Amino acid sequence: MVYLDHAATTPMHPEAAQVLTEQLARTGNASSLHASGRAARRVVEESREVIAECLGARPSEVVFTSGGTEANNLAIKGLYWARRDVDPARDRVLFSSIEHHALLDPVTWLAAHEGARIDTTPVDRQGRVVVERLREQIEADPASVAVVTTMWANNEMGTVQPVDDVVALAKEHAIPVHSDAVQAAGYLPLDFAASGLDAMTVTAHKLGGPVGVGALLVRREVAPVPLVHGGGQERDLRSGTVGVALIAAFARALEITVERQAEVSARIERLRQRLVTGLLQAVPDAVVNGDPEPGPQHRLPNIAHVTFPGCEGDAMLMLLDAQGIEVSTGSACQAGVPQPSHVLLAMGYDDAAARGSLRLSLGHTSTEADVDRLLAALPQVRDRAVTASLVRGR
């Protein structure tokens, strides 16, 4: 099997899997006062310190969640409610047009159920937020803006967003800013304190940790309204018995990621270049989307998003899958849903291009052999997909 869908989830680092296994064999609720509970609490707090250090945060700013989706919901809903409760006139949420559905859907829920007014900030042809349009949206009525959110790097294109500019603009008007950094954390150095963000989302399974655990980094001065009420285990922002084993494995995976990030990202960038060069030779009319320039200010090193004119991306996905090559047409949460990518549509692509695209994403286990297998299969797969499209069109 060739796995080229690391942007959906990436294999666990063996060291993180070992930590998970060891901790699962131990008993102890981290909120209990006896010896087993204290030992579990020590594991959680030591893991919190590791994660904080890796991400440039204070330990008290790390709030554990079940993953990126919960963290995004807590950030956007919690900050909206907190700001609106102080001033009911603060009822606007500004967000980019290319957000993951884990952010897009909570925002639209706020509009449908909580009376929020939502403004979508457009992106350019490379999938990058147009900061001047955001400025216009804010300055039209800054006192009404509850929160601004812009992802750190797009999960389909890999395009890195101008988070520094967004933060600087929002801070002119004392508006809190959140960023979904789920895709970026595995491949870019992140420093929460230096970013000026008020909240930032990360998750374990995108960087070699287990599924089912993530974190919202929240500045100590910021107090979102909780979504889940109960024991208040996580700074009174998130209740529920903490998953000690998951958290410990998360910390180990992040530690490994940060230690090896420069080396691994450089290697993966070379693999991506090999993939793109070979792909354009094998299928000359293919179009590689997003920012063509490498580097942390431009795009992630592991994602190549490609449009194949004249065919459906879903057809190519299934034909490749039949040959043991696993890719994606975009966000995994939309898999099987017959609609074009909202990201490509926001970038100005038409419906046909949005439907005829694949996301090829590399990771820490990817090899040259994986890339070569894909390149060898692509010409025939493309031809069969075009034929299938023509047949359906008759």
Strand partners, 65: 214
In this structure, what token pair is assigned to residue 45? 């707090």
Cα separation, 353 vs 351, in Å, equals 6
Cβ count near 144 (within 10 Å): 14
H-helix or E-strand spanning residue 382 = helix 368-393
According to DSSP, the β-strands at 357-361 and 303-307 are: antiparallel
Annotate 253-285 with b (16+ C-beta within 10 A) or e (fewer). Answer: bbbbbbeebeebbebbbebbeebbebbeebbee
Number of helices (H), then strands (E), in the chain:
12, 12
Closest to 44 in 3D by CA, of 301, 244, 253, 187: 244
Phi, psi of 215 (to 5 degrees): -155, 150
The helix/strand/coil state of 162 is coil
H-helix or E-strand spanning residue 145 = strand 145-149
**In the chain, which ranges are E strands?**
2-3, 62-65, 92-96, 117-121, 145-149, 177-180, 199-203, 214-218, 287-289, 303-307, 325-326, 357-361
Q: Is 333 a catalytic residue?
A: yes
Residue 70 DSSP code: H
Which listed residue (111, 322, 333, 335) is catalytic?
A: 333
Contact 210, 72 (CB under 8 A): no
Cα separation, 73 vs 322, in Å, equals 36
Catalytic site positions: 333
